[in-house]
Amino acid sequence: MSTQRFFLALLCFTFAFFSCKQKDGNSTQPMENKDSKMFSKSDIIPPIAVKIPKTIVTHGDTMVDNYFWMRLSDAQKNAQKPDEQTKKVLDYLTAENAYREKMMSHTDSFQNRLFEEIKGRIKQTDMSVPYKDNGYFYITRFEEGKEYAIHSRKKGSLEAQEEILLNVNNLAEGHEYYAVGGRTVSPDNKILAYSEDTVSRRQYTIRFKDLITGKNFDDVIPVTSGGITWGNDNKTIFYTKIDATLRSFKIYRHTLGTPVKNDQLIWHEKDETFSTFIYKTKSKKYLIIGSAATLSNEYQVLEADNPTGKFRMFQPRERKLEYGIDHYGDSWYIHTNKDDAQNFKIMVTPETATTKENWKDLMPYDKNIFIEGIDLFKDHMVISERKGGITQLRIRPWSGQDEHYVQFGEESYTTGTGINPDFETDLLRLDYTSLTTPNTTYDYNVKTKKLEKLKQQEVVGSFKAEDYVSERKMVKAQDGTMIPLSIVYKKGFKKVGSQPFLLFGYGSYGASMDPYFSSVRLSLLDRGFGFAIAHIRGGQEMGRQWYEDGKYLKKKNTFTDFIDCGDYLLNEKYVAKDKLFANGGSAGGLLMGAVMNMKPEIWKGIIAAVPFVDVINTMLDESIPLTTGEFDEWGNPKDKEYYAYMKSYSPYDNVEAKAYPATLVTTGYWDSQVQYWEPAKWVAKLRELKTDKNPLLMYCNMDTGHGGASGRFRRYRETAMEYAFLLDLAGLGED
């Protein structure tokens, strides 16, 4: 399934205010929060966006969009001299930022303290657990006070001299935003290929560094997806070009040292609902070109020793046939939903007979186990599964003897395989976390069944895991479905309906929001907040049907599940009636917009990060990034049935003249996944129609895109701003 809008889902929380007062027995009105100074700043005039009506007729239905004018093209945004429309948009965004700054000015010192507090928990001088690949140990480390990573390696042993591959701090100099995309070393260990994005628009430039001389080659490849794959000849590389909508649509072959203009087009994915990519199998024997849509996959293969050869089809695409492939020995191993295996199964086929009629079951299908993927080793296979919503790792030796699961001794947690490039090893590198356990890296010996802790995220200061409590509850939804809810709070938290609480959700693209540790979150928990993740339909926490029941014409289940989780927290007295907050980002921002429209009275406040709220306009416009690839997620509004259903929940199209909770909306001017104009239009319409006096603020980062600020610490400036807003509205702010 598509997960392109997903990334930012974890843009963290915050905010707002709402108190409840019964009226006419079935509705509520917000009450002023006397503890928050924002509510007293009535003398600060909010920006009022100009209205320029644009009439849009679809299926005979007429809609008037007063704020359509806020949309700018890439050409307008990149022009050296802005035109009149661009000036008007920039003026509006600047005015919104200035308004937010004035409304929150009383929290400036508190924001600084929160930032230093969050930053202070992060170990400044730190290093990843090294992993070995092709004779070298690879390391990512950080130096005190530096924003970016240093990528290095050591030959043969960890006692060897360090070789710096990339010092990202140096590369980022002079850039407001800088991110490294792909990094991969040639098979002979002599050349590093890497990609960089200096705009935050997912348009990566590929460069090559000679690891002997330390100098870059002249070869520079612009406007790529960022991924790089080497042929086995140490001079041929493959990369993916992106089109105007940022869809990965062409695979090229480049020979190092030759003009980029002479690069060979290897594959053109012409179907606009598919994206394409390329990778090398773990066995290093094959290059794989993949094409992927929400409900279909297709692969082509070529021996990596013959990178100038012709790729051959593995299994042609079929609608609703999803599969992934990896190679070992004389066989291909296939992760697929073939034969109505909704929760997927593992099949195997001979190396020379790859079409689906040759595939044989390696493991019998079990509808109660959702298989997410596989990792292959010389003596065993590792299967990543979900059972009862919990992630698990199954060890399956090729001998068929002693199949077992890795045991952790905790009820609710998240685990997954880490970086495992080595085939011939009994050690599995894995990652582990829970709501109370910091991110931990283990080596698991599949023969002895022993876990060796290699590193646990150090939380600087007085943090003790035993000071916090996690719970897993099952919440009954409106249709009787039981929704998992992961909860964490600090010991001493009182379940008497007096505490503030933040509920987080996503619920799209089959992306599962598993329980994870966050040292940043401690700034809320230590001040009395509870926190929960609602594992609502639209993700895949409970298997593939969980996803199917939260998409297309069942999308509203996602929203009602989240509301039901909020009601549960209220009814079970985890939270005070006037202190329930909600947060979601990207498609989770759509969730926020929907629940605000559907049941505004239970939320004290909402933070909607980079929210996908203008559903109809975006999905009708195939020139916008991601649209064509997502018809199988939301439906195509050119179909009247889907249009009507989308319109019934699209946040922007359902804003009404009524009271809304306090709301903070964040966006990035260069966002390619949810364009800035969606949240900007939404805020303008909310401000026009809402009848309450609750704060409505927008933060537009003019230098970044979907993922927010780059850098190790700088991004937490925004988090501190959000937390200050949240805590102030909860009556826990500081002067």
Q: Are 704 and 656 in contact (CB under 8 A)?
A: no
Note if 706 is an active site residue: yes
Q: Are 653 and 615 in contact (CB under 8 A)?
A: yes
**DSSP label at residue 584:** E
Least Cα distance to 664 among 710, 724, 594, 704 occurs for: 724
Helix and strand numbers (H, E) in the chain are 13, 40
Radius of gyration of the chain (CA): 26
* Exposure string over 423-445, b if 16+ CB within 10 A, otherwise e: eebeebbbebbbbbbbbbbbbbe
Note if 564 is an active site residue: no
Q: At residue 594, what is the residue type?
A: A
Catalytic residue, candidates 219, 263, 671, 692: 671
Task: List Cβ neighbours of 585 (8 Å cut-off, separation of 6 or more).
Answer: 8, 9, 10, 11, 506, 608, 609, 610, 611
Determine phi and psi for 723, rounding to 5 degrees: -65, -40
Determine phi and psi for 317, rounding to 5 degrees: -65, 145
Helices assigned H by DSSP within 508-623 = 522-525, 544-548, 556-571, 587-598, 615-620
Catalytic residue, candidates 248, 535, 706, 728: 706
Least Cα distance to 263 among 291, 227, 222, 312 occurs for: 222
Catalytic residue, candidates 296, 586, 650, 710: 586
Least Cα distance to 595 among 504, 460, 726 occurs for: 504
Least Cα distance to 33 among 576, 407, 567 occurs for: 576
Note if 526 is an active site residue: no
- Helix (H) / strand (E) element for 240: namely strand 236-242
- Helix (H) / strand (E) element for 718: namely helix 715-729
Least Cα distance to 372 among 269, 241, 514 occurs for: 514
**Count of Cβ atoms closer than 10 Å to residue 450 Cβ:** 10
Q: How far apart are CA 117 and CA 110, in angstroms?
A: 10
**DSSP label at residue 524:** H
**DSSP label at residue 735:** -
Q: Which residues carry out catalysis?
A: 586, 671, 706
